[in-house]
Amino acid sequence: MKVVKLFVSSISLNAFPGILLASLLAGFLCAGSVSAQTLDPDLRPDLRRAITTQGDLGRKGRTNGYVPELKPDLDVVRSLSSLSIRGDGSLLHSMPHPSQSTAVISALTSISSGTPLNRILHTSQLSLTSSAGSDEQFVDRNGDLIADERTTLDSVGGSFDIAVGRSGARYEVYSATLNNRPVGVVVVALDTNGDYRVDASNTYNLRTDFNLPSAAAVVTGTSNAGREFVIVCSSGYYNSSNPNDPNNESSPGIVLLVRDPATGGFDPSRSRELVRVGDNRLYNANALALLPNNDLLIADFHSDELRIIRDTDSDGIPDTLATAPYYSYRFSNDAPLDIAVNSRGLVFSHSAGTNTVMLALYDDNADGRADRDEVVVEGLSIDNNLFLHGLTVDRAGNVYVIEDASGTADASSSGGNGGRPRVDAFPDPALNGFLVDGPVFTSADDEKTQALTGLAFGYSTTLAGVAHLTLVNSAKLQGNATQDGLGSIIGTGLTRGASGATESEAAARGLRVLVGGRTARVFSFSDTQVNVYVPDEVGNGSRSVVVTVGSDVIAADQVTVAKSNPGIFTVPQNGAGEAIALLASGFQYSKGPFPAKTDSQRSVIAIFGTGWRKDLPASVQIGGRAAVVQYAGSAGQFPGLDQINVELPEGSSGASTIVVTTASGISSRNGVVVTIK
């Protein structure tokens, strides 16, 4: 690994004659407004310095420092008592409590060749006793949210944060010390042969060009023109109790670096400062996250705010710091230490403490600012450190957080958390912030001498984001599906183009559906509709529905599963038209049109549908006349299929509308008929 000039590709200048060398250097130096950087191969993370950088919430702080829109009141704190009801009135089926297990998670198998980067969790493991450190990669191969494959990306000191570009480049950032001066550093690490190990890298000193005294966080994205960009921030750490603390920084800077595909470096014509160091427009910048529209969120711990840099010219690159914050937190113990965003724009954040919470932030009116927060995890053990922390979301919506990042360096005897550094995983099946409890994904190899920091997944280059879906009654194709009933999942791209009419075909194509975390049998499927049986054990109420193909989540959403919602199957299979029914009189089991009488008795027909077995007795009207119900309930062997046997009312003839109504007064849809001769 070597330090190179920020906007110069890493070529060997020794190969050029003196005159040519001089002309090349002149060209490079005049290419932009930045200056060349000092070459130094020894820049490494300064963990000693990072360990001391605790957040300093709401205190007086630096002279002329940024003052937040809503100044934090240190006396206003969130109650951490467990609640079974969220603030939005929704029932919390499971308030997650992260496991405090101290067992080491062994991941001895190397990452399998061909594993896409969107399935690989990147993090850094740092030594508390030496300059050793490594950037590690983990894969959950079997979907249990426990790492079982691991490959070390590099072992040259590690980093404080990491991001993975669509190009596959890893961007590692950390703070270093050079000639007693603090330096922000970004490393562009490349795996050119796909073995998940770095084989080429360039190290850039951000102090020379942008005056960054540290590098606390990094994100990467892609512009509308397809250019990959990297954004790095300094922390803005300031010890208000000691203005002479040598680790104190000016207010944070944020820099945009745009990759140059021609040189492999950065483009000086596009790279620039988004926020200048020392301009006091921010107080801290301890974490970054990109919204789906590429607006940039900034966690400002001291100010108890999320700030936002918006893309005002619609080129897919954030450019202008908004005056108004994206969100002002209500409680001082919610001050954002780290943030992450899922593919649907839902923001997660957590603060610091021995019993802190994770929040989900909702932009209910879609105006580009969060309107409220909801507690989604309680009982987190998060060290107060502006550099050492980690929070991220994978493509499927699972949320990962580092607890006790600095391990024994944050000793409980000194008021810290202690504990083994570990990564906890929390499923969010519907990608809506309704997290459920999860396991320890991985942990530091040695709890006494190591720290963990920084979390990131790569992007999928083959899959779109997780699609939305709805779950409806299969017979009426409207309204909610029911427990122990037949439901139809409606959406687009649900099966990646596959179709089939049997359970075995679904299994062969790797198609799987979970409703409320339980496997739902798939009877037939296409890219726009998947027909399933909703297990009785799912119960009724708000439940997640997740469609996967192979190991990839394709669609997911939160739906309502009803206790009852009667629907009658029809011949056109569109919820209306001629009902699917059989003549039951005399055990004939023939299709309609039906005789009004059979053997001088009113004919009895069996009508088939779904959604009424849990809400009996049911009543039936045919042609506006009440029909005598002889049987209502399960149709027998086929799961979820309901049957109701009725006598045709006296005087019925022609195409007669049929309506089934349950005991609680819920009726099947209009437009369904039986034809009577």
The mean-pLDDT minimum among 84-98, 130-144, 291-305 falls in 84-98
CATH code assigned at 653: 2.60.40.10
Query: Closest Cα to residue 113, out of 34, 197, 20?
Result: 197
Picking from 436, 457, 478, the residue at the C-terminal end of a domain is: 457
Picking from 511, 539, 561, the residue at the C-terminal end of a domain is: 561
pLDDT digits (tens, 9 = 90+) for 386-442: 999 999 999 999 999 999 999 988 876 666 778 899 999 999 999 999 999 999 999
Instruction: Looking at the structure, tell me whether residues 228 and 265 fall in a common domain.
Output: yes
Structural domain contains residue 624: yes
Q: Which residues of 398-429 are buried (b: 16+ CB within 10 A; e: fewer)?
A: bbbbbbbbbbbbbeeeeebbbbbbbbbbbbbb
Instruction: Looking at the structure, tell me whether residues 287 and 412 fall in a common domain.
Output: yes
Contacts of 107 (CB under 8 A, 6+ apart): 138, 147, 148, 149, 150, 442
Q: How confident is the model at residue 7 (pLDDT cuts 50, 70, 90)?
A: very low
The total of structural domains in the chain comes to: 3
Average the pLDDT over 169-198 and give the result.
95
The confidence score (pLDDT) of residue 589 equals 86
For residue 494, the surrounding DSSP H or E stretch is none
Structural domain contains residue 2: no
Q: How confident is the model at residue 464 (pLDDT cuts 50, 70, 90)?
A: confident
CATH code assigned at 345: 2.120.10.30
The confidence score (pLDDT) of residue 122 equals 98
The confidence score (pLDDT) of residue 107 equals 53
The domain of 654 spans 567-676
Residue 99 predicted with pLDDT over 70: no
Q: How confident is the model at residue 90 (pLDDT cuts 50, 70, 90)?
A: low
CA distance linking residue 485 with residue 473, whole number of Å = 8
Q: What backbone torsions phi and psi does residue 317 show, to the nearest 5 degrees?
A: -130, 125
For residue 101 the two structure tokens come to 């297990």
Number of other CB atoms surrounding residue 195 within 10 Å: 12
Q: How confident is the model at residue 94 (pLDDT cuts 50, 70, 90)?
A: very low
Structural domain contains residue 164: yes
Structural domain contains residue 10: no
Q: Model-level pTM?
A: 0.90
Instruction: Looking at the structure, tell me whether residues 545 and 599 fall in a common domain.
Output: no
Structural domain contains residue 254: yes
Instruction: Looking at the structure, tell me whether residues 448 and 484 fall in a common domain.
Output: no
Q: Are 153 and 199 in contact (CB under 8 A)?
A: no
Average pLDDT, the chain: 89
Instruction: Looking at the structure, tell me whether residues 227 and 247 fall in a common domain.
Output: yes
The confidence score (pLDDT) of residue 83 equals 52
Instruction: Looking at the structure, tell me whether residues 210 and 312 fall in a common domain.
Output: yes
The confidence score (pLDDT) of residue 350 equals 97
CA distance linking residue 645 with residue 640, whole number of Å = 17
Percentage of residues in the chain with pLDDT exceeding 90? 76
Picking from 518, 539, 561, the residue at the C-terminal end of a domain is: 561
pLDDT digits (tens, 9 = 90+) for 565-577: 999 999 999 999 9
Instruction: Looking at the structure, tell me whether residues 522 and 632 fall in a common domain.
Output: no
Instruction: Looking at the structure, tell me whether residues 578 and 548 fall in a common domain.
Output: no
Structural domain contains residue 17: no
Instruction: Looking at the structure, tell me whether residues 148 and 192 fall in a common domain.
Output: yes
> What is the Rg, in whole angstroms, of the alpha carbon atoms belonging to the chain?
30
Instruction: Looking at the structure, tell me whether residues 502 and 613 fall in a common domain.
Output: no
Instruction: Looking at the structure, tell me whether residues 657 and 671 fall in a common domain.
Output: yes
Structural domain contains residue 40: no
CA distance linking residue 346 with residue 581, whole number of Å = 47
CA distance linking residue 287 with residue 236, whole number of Å = 11
Instruction: Looking at the structure, tell me whether residues 642 and 549 fall in a common domain.
Output: no
Structural domain contains residue 609: yes
Q: How confident is the model at residue 41 (pLDDT cuts 50, 70, 90)?
A: low
Q: How far apart are the first and last CA of the chain?
A: 87
The mean-pLDDT minimum among 86-95, 173-182, 496-505, 544-553 falls in 86-95
